[in-house]
Each structure stands twice: as structure tokens, then as C-alpha cells.
């Protein structure tokens, strides 16, 4: 097979594998609702349960990214899928809340797959095409929608144990197909042929000293962490706010996951064409508006008029709510692609470690935000408090990004006239 064919196999199979991994990573968005009822969990306990796999998948990303740079993404990807499949199957044997949390930690290994695929695919494509390729790969986020579309029907028909078993089997099948149908990336193949020593851990971690990496991480905390948090939280939100059953809630929540996944490829393409920074401005500006609208709670108003009081109410029905949510997911997808377009450009020799820390921080958002959603529900008692938190986060990200861009432009302008100033 030629290099073009190898690229196509690497991209297509990595995307499918990531889709399966993401479906497993968000499995508690559906089965967690039934487990909550069976175990009598409160919102805080429920949010901790659905967030536990996200915690594991986040913390392991840095190490998985480094190992993918050192030893190649192909073997690491296969090991990730097989180990996660084992723990997903073990879910069926957990009969206490504590055991469920412990097993969920192992399920979360599947979330580390993302950074492995980034490190693997970035070595197959030139800088001019990396944004598009990584955007296509990022469409694997649609695994969250797969879980929401399919899992409710499997769970209603056969129980949540069947969902865990089927999802685990899918991981095993995908791991086998990926291993036998893909090849090592060119750099790793050359490294094996020359028997060159892998990059040291110290060298791999050196870019993490730069503030820019942590700024990218904050952006990803919102666009990815917020996406994962909502993907997990929305079925519960629809059930609680709009009194829907789990099938309806899963279908409507899936529309957000679809928007936050499929359009990632468009974000990668636009980042290649117009620049990642421009796409980030679009993303944060629209997300600020969407989160503001969604954060407004249902409210009754009374205006004291001249002759009599005038009363009216404000609330968002589930249809306009779903439409605004779809727009939010669309621009989150664009932002996710734009951020990962930056990384191979700025850090071509350390894609795994930089992608790992950015993915780690973003993934932590997927853990801490659902937990915060549940705590805020219990303490504040307002359903839209989750969107209030997201509005605050994206507003901070937008302001920080704009101030940084202004500072960089002023610095470049000064350096432009520095020779003339030195002559004066």
C-alpha cells in the first residue's frame, strides 16, 4: 500500500476507534440515570458517578500522549481500548455505589484515547492539512450521540447491564481491527529501523513551562470540558426540567452531541483556511451569547402599573432550548478543532505532551463541571445554574484571549519600529 492509502486507513480507523471509545467514556450519561434510581442517589452522588470516568480519562492523557510520541500511537491506542473494555464489562459485577465508582475509574481509560490519536495522526499529515485531518478525527466525539441514541433503547429492552456488555465487546472488536489494519507512523517506523532511543520524559515535558500551553488548556476546559459535561448532564436536565422519559431525553440530548462532534471537521477546515485565532473569536463570541440565553431561569414578573398589576412569565420551552443548545454545540466543535490546529504548528516535536496537558485540563472540565452542576442544583436550587457557570467560564476565556492578542500585536508593532528608534 502507498503512503496515501496508509494515511486514509490511519485517519478512518482512528476516527472510528475514537468514536467507540467516546461512546464508552460517556456511557454513564444513560445508564447512570437508571443506576441513580436503583441506588437512590442524590444529584451530587449522580454527578460524581458520571464524572468519575471523565476524571480518569483526563488524568491519563498526558502520559498517554507522551508514550504515543515515544513508542507510537498504534500500540498505545490498542492497549487503551482493551483495558477499557475489561473495566466496562466489570461494571456488571458492581453491586454497591463504592464499587461502581471504582470500576468507573477503569472505564475512563477510554477517554485517554483522544490524545493518542492526535499524536498518531499529526505525524501522517503536513501542517497545511493537519487542521482538517485532526478535525475529522475529532468527529469521534459523536460517540456521545451514539450512546444517547442507542443505549436508551438497549437499556429499556434488556437492562443497563446489556449496554455495558455490548459497549465492551465493541471496544475489543475495534482494537483488533485497528491493530491489524493500520501501520506505525513514519517517524516511529524510522525510529525502530535505526534503533534510536525514544525521547526522554524531561524533553517531552519541556513545553509545559510556557504560559501559552496553559492558555490553550483554559480554552479547552470550556469547549471540550463544557461539551463533555453537558453531554453527560443533559439527559438528566431534560428529565428534570421538561419531565421527559429517558428515551426522549436521550434523543434530544444527542442533538447537542451531534452538533459538538460532526462540525469539528468544519472547524478544522476553517482553521486551515482562515486561521485558528479567527475561529476561536467566532467560537467564544457566539458561546457567550448562547450561555447567557440558556442561563436565564424561568421567572414570573409583576409590574406595578398605574391602574393594576401586570404579570407575565419568561421561560424557554424545550424546542428553543434545544435549538440554542445545538448552536452552542456547533461552535464548541469549531473551537475544539481550532485549539488542536494550534498545537502541531507551535509544538511539532512535542505534539503528544502538549496535546496531553491540554486534553488533560479539558477533560478535567468534563469531570469537575458535572460535579459542580450537581452541587449547584442541590445548594442553589436553580436548574439553569449550570449555564450560569459556563457563561462565566467562556467570558473569562474570551477576555483573556483578546487581551493576549492585543498585547502580541502591540509587541509586534513596537518591534517593527525598533530599528528606527535605535537609529534616532
**CATH (domain of 231):** 1.20.1250.20
In a domain, 142, yes or no: yes
Asked, for residue 204, whether it belongs to a domain, the answer is no
Give tens-digit pLDDT for 266-311: 888 888 888 888 999 999 999 999 999 999 888 878 888 888 888 8
Domain range for 320: 3-186+213-299+312-423
Q: Let me know if residue 205 belongs to a domain.
A: no
pLDDT at 288: 96
Among candidate residues 415, 348, 316, the one with its CA nearest the CA of residue 127: 348
Per-residue pLDDT band at 340 (split at 50, 70, 90): confident
pLDDT tens for 182-223 read 888 776 665 655 555 555 656 666 666 777 888 888 899 999
Residue 191 lies in a domain: no
pLDDT tens figures, 49-92? 888 898 888 888 888 888 888 888 889 999 999 999 999 999 99
Backbone angles phi, psi at 314, to 5 degrees: -130, 130
In a domain, 120, yes or no: yes
Burial class (CB in 10 A: 0-12, 13-18, 19+), 284: buried
Rounded CA separation 399/218 (Å):
12
When pLDDT is averaged across residues 245-257 and rounded to a whole number, the result is: 83
The number of folded domains in the chain is 1
Amino acid at each position: 500500500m502507498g503512503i496515501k492509502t496508509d494515511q486514509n486507513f490511519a485517519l478512518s480507523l482512528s476516527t472510528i476507534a475514537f468514536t467507540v471509545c467516546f461512546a464508552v467514556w460517556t456511557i454513564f450519561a444513560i445508564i447512570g440515570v437508571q443506576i441513580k434510581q436503583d441506588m437512590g442517589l442524590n444529584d451530587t452522588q449522580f454527578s460524581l458517578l458520571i464524572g468519575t470516568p471523565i476524571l480518569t480519562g483526563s488524568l491519563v492523557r498526558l502520559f498517554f500522549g507522551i508514550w504515543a510520541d515515544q513508542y507510537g500511537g498504534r500500540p498505545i491506542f490498542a492497549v487503551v481500548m482493551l483495558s477499557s473494555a475489561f473495566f466496562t464489562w466489570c461494571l456488571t459485577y458492581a453491586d454497591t455505589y463504592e464499587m461502581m465508582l471504582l470500576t468507573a475509574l477503569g472505564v475512563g481509560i477510554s477517554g485517554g484515547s483522544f490524545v493518542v490519536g492526535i499524536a498518531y495522526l499529526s505525524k501522517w499529515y503536513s501542517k497545511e492539512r493537519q487542521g482538517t485531518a485532526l478535525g475529522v478525527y475529532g468527529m469521534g466525539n459523536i460517540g456521545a450521540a451514539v450512546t444517547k441514541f442507542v443505549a436508551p433503547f438497549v437499556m429499556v429492552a434488556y437492562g443497563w447491564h446489556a449496554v455495558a456488555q455490548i459497549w465492551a465487546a465493541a471496544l475489543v472488536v475495534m482494537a483488533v481491527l485497528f491493530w491489524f489494519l493500520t501501520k506505525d507512523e513514519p517517524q516511529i517506523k524510522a525510529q525502530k529501523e535505526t534503533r534510536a532511543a525514544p525521547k526522554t520524559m524531561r524533553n517531552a515535558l519541556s513545553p509545559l513551562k510556557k504560559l501559552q500551553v496553559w492558555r490553550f488548556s483554559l480554552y479547552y476546559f470550556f469547549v471540550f470540558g463544557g461539551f463533555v459535561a453537558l453531554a453527560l448532564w443533559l439527559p438528566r436536565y431534560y428529565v428534570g426540567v421538561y419531565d421527559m422519559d429517558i428515551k426522549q431525553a436521550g434523543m434530544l440530548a444527542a442533538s447537542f452531541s451531534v452538533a459538538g462532534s460532526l462540525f469539528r471537521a468544519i472547524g478544522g477546515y476553517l482553521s486551515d483556511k482562515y486561521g485558528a485565532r479567527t475561529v476561536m473569536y467566532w467560537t467564544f463570541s457566539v458561546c457567550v451569547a448562547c450561555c447567557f440565553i440558556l442561563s436565564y431561569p424561568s421567572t414570573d414578573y409583576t409590574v406595578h402599573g398605574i391602574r393594576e398589576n401586570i404579570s407575565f412569565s419568561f421561560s424557554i420551552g424545550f424546542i428553543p432550548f434545544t435549538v440554542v443548545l445545538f448552536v452552542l454545540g456547533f461552535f464548541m466543535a469549531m473551537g475544539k478543532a481550532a485549539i488542536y490546529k494550534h498545537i502541531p504548528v507551535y509544538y511539532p516535536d512535542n505534539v503528544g505532551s502538549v496535546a496531553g496537558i491540554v486534553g488533560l485540563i479539558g477533560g478535567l472540565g468534563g469531570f469537575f463541571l458535572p460535579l459542580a452542576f450537581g452541587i449547584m442544583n442541590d445548594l442553589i436550587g436553580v436548574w439553569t445554574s449550570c449555564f450560569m457557570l459556563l457563561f462565566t467560564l467562556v467570558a473569562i476565556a474570551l477576555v483573556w484571549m483578546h487581551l493576549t492578542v492585543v498585547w502580541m500585536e502591540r509587541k509586534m508593532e513596537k518591534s517593527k519600529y525598533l530599528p528606527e528608534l535605535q537609529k534616532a
